[in-house]
Homo-oligomer: A and B are copies of this chain.
Amino acid sequence: MSIITNINKLFDHRIRLGIMSVLMVNEYADFNMLKELLGATDGNLASHTKALEKGEYIKVEKQFIGRKPNTRYSTTKLGRAAFKKHIEALESIINKQK
């Protein structure tokens, strides 16, 4: 049980951390919203959302808004639980600094 035991590999990247962080406080976020909020390129964002999707931490819904495709993301129960644990692990590391 080391100090980094509860750091989740899947959240251990700034873009994925950002995606989760946005999705924890917003019920949904679409591709462009995430792209803008995180300053990621299209391809980069797509691969990170795919990684989180594969881990079943986020859910993807594709729809059309008017005639435009729109992809929106939301967290899963599993994702929310995992993220909370990750945040707690970070907090515990941070508190050691104080």
A91 at the B interface (CB under 8 A)? yes
- The number of chain A residues with a CB under 8 A from chain B is 26
A89 vs chain B, min Cβ distance (A): 9
Q: How far is the CB of A3 from chain B (nearest CB, A)?
A: 6
| Chain A residues numbered 1-35 whose CB sits less than 8 Å from any CB in chain B | 2-5, 7, 9, 12-15, 17-18, 21-22, 24-25
Question: Chain A binding site: helix, strand, loop or mixed by DSSP?
Answer: helix
Query: Is A87 on the interface with B (CB-CB < 8 A)?
Result: yes
A37 partner residues in chain B, CB cutoff 8 A:
2-3
A3 touches B18 (CB 8 A): yes
- Among A9, A90, A96, max chain B CB count under 10 A is at A90
Asked whether, in the complex, the Cβ of A4 is within 8 Å of the Cβ of B15, the reply is: yes
Interface string of A61-88 (1 = CB under 8 A from B): 0000000000000000000000000010
Q: Does A97 contact B (CB under 8 A)?
A: yes
B14–A4 CB distance below 8 A: yes
